[in-house]
Amino acid sequence: MVRVAIIGATGYTGLESIEIISRHPQAQVTYLTALPEECGHAEAIFGRLKGKCDMQIEPLDLNKLAKLADVALCCLPHKVSMGFVPKLLDAGVKVIDFSADYRIKDAKLYEKFYSVEHTDTANLEKAAYGLPELFRDEIKGKDLIANPGCYPTGFTLATAPLLKHDLIETDSIINNAVTGASGAGKNPSERFHFPNMNENFFAYGIGTHRHMPEMEQIASTVAGTSVNVLFQPHVGPFDRGILSTVYCQPKRDVTNDKLTKIYEEFYEAESFVQLCTESPSVKDVAGTNYCHVYVTHTKGKIIAFSAIDNLVKGASGQAVQNMNIIFGLDETLGLG
């Protein structure tokens, strides 16, 4: 039994992690922490947990953590996380970090997009980027996993076969993506107030979204050359899911049959990536760890589509997938 601590358990990814682990046959939640002012009984904080999680969410105590847990899912926000992760590692637990703090290998780039000095570059170097379909070997045996961002997960799974096979121009990729409103997190705001968000649809983060450098870094790693991504996110009036529609300029002629074959081979061994024969639908992957992908060629462009659940494959589910890997378990356990 893997003993799991959840650090920052009162947000949406904390709740999702608790729910996933509670169905996991070889893991259990043993310790829940949050900021002192947000602590309380888990079932009082989340109505969904009534009858399922008779535990207090407590302020973090590193000694308790060391005694109670083998791994910490660290659901803290960007910038905050890097203040805690070194302590969690020192307490002797493995860490899967949900923030962006250990994803961008280039600390300068991180600092540019997150407007803060990186205070834990030592661990930054050691962290593996936790996208198992592409970096499984680097994840194995690691103590610190940088769990990918939701948008970069959808983007990378949509385009990796194209990049790997050198099929597209790397300076003209456009990732037009749409997320459900849970991506905004738990704190109420004007934009996500129901009477504003319902029946609404809009773009945001134009030219500035922080997932852009993450996408470019991973895409460049996959392609083996520098990749430029124009990333334009939108929000729609639904809870869960990201649909990525990625427009690429092919380097050379390629048929749809050839594209399909490349994707089939690329993802043949992957449980969680499934190929579609038309546009994926976010509802088909909502609440699951699956990524549905479709690729086609039209009007001189290749369009690659992917759908994931931003809270599962885009956060807590992928974290559990990473946990399964670093503890030598079947990668799909608890994620059926």
Where in the sequence numbering do the catalytic residues fall? 150
In degrees and rounded to multiples of 5, residue 222 shows phi and psi of -65, -40
Closest distance of CB 159 from its own copies, Å: 16
Q: Is 190 in the site for its own copies (CB under 8 A)?
A: yes
Residue 216 has φ and ψ, to the nearest 5°, of: -65, -40
Nearest to 62 by CA among 79, 96, 85: 85
Tell me how far apart the alpha carbons of residues 176 and 303 are, in angstroms, rounded to a whole number. 11
| Residue 107 CB, nearest approach to its own copies (Å) | 22
Report the run of H or E that residue 213 belongs to, with start and end. helix 211-223
Nearest alpha carbon to residue 213 among 231, 191, 236, 237: 231
Report in angstroms how near the CB of residue 205 gets to its own copies at its nearest: 9
51 binds its own copies (CB under 8 A): yes
What x/- string results for residues 194 through 223 when contact with its own copies is judged by CB under 8 A?
Answer: xxxxxxxxxxx-xx----------------
- Which of 3, 22, 66, 105 touches its own copies by CB under 8 A? 22
Q: Is 255 in the site for its own copies (CB under 8 A)?
A: no
Bridge partners for 306 per DSSP = 244, 293
DSSP string of 263-280, one letter each residue: HHHHTTT-SSEEE-SS--
The size of the interface with its own copies (CB under 8 A), counted in residues, is 75
Q: Of 7, 12, 10, 8, which Cα lies nearest the Cα of 317?
A: 12
Q: How far apart are CA 121 and CA 106, in angstroms?
A: 9
Segment 267-306, which members bind its own copies (CB under 8 A)?
271-272, 274, 276, 278-288, 290, 292, 296, 298-301, 303, 305
Stretch that binds its own copies, among 82-90, 93-101, 156-164, 231-239 (CB under 8 A): 231-239
Distances (CA, A) of 202 to 104, 154, 237, 303: 28, 19, 10, 22
Is 293 in contact with 287 (CB distance < 8 Å)? no
Q: How far is the CB of 123 from its own copies (least distance, A)?
A: 31
Q: Residues, the chain, total?
A: 336
Residues in 166-185 at the binding interface with its own copies, rule: CB under 8 A? 174, 176, 178, 180-182, 184
Q: How far is the CB of 138 from its own copies (least distance, A)?
A: 24
Query: Which residue type sits at 220?
Result: S
Of 28, 189, 225, 226, the one binding its own copies (CB under 8 A) is 189
Q: Is 31 in the site for its own copies (CB under 8 A)?
A: no
Span 75-134, contacts to its own copies by CB under 8 A: none
Q: Which CB sits closer to its own copies, 123 or 289?
A: 289
- Contact pick of 1, 35, 116, 230 for its own copies (by CB under 8 A): 230
The Cα 77–Cα 127 span in angstroms is 17
Q: Which of 26, 50, 90, 140 binds its own copies (CB under 8 A)?
A: 50
Q: Which two tokens stand for residue 71?
A: 């791994």
Residue 73 or residue 282: which is nearer to its own copies going by CB? Answer: 282
Q: Which is nearer to its own copies, 67 or 193 (CB)?
A: 193
d(CA 162, CA 177): 18
Q: Does 38 bind its own copies (CB under 8 A)?
A: no
Closer residue to its own copies in complex, CB, 84/294: 294
- Compare residues 12 and 263 and give the one whose CB is closer to its own copies: 12
Does 234 interact with its own copies (rule: CB under 8 A)?
Answer: yes
Strand pairing partners for 245?
Answer: 176, 305
Q: Counting contacts by CB under 8 A, is residue 254 touching its own copies?
A: no
Phi-psi region of 299 (alpha: psi -120 to 50; beta: other; left: phi over 0): left
Q: Which two tokens stand for residue 287?
A: 């609440």
Specify the residue, 56 or 228, whose C-beta has the smaller distance to its own copies: 228
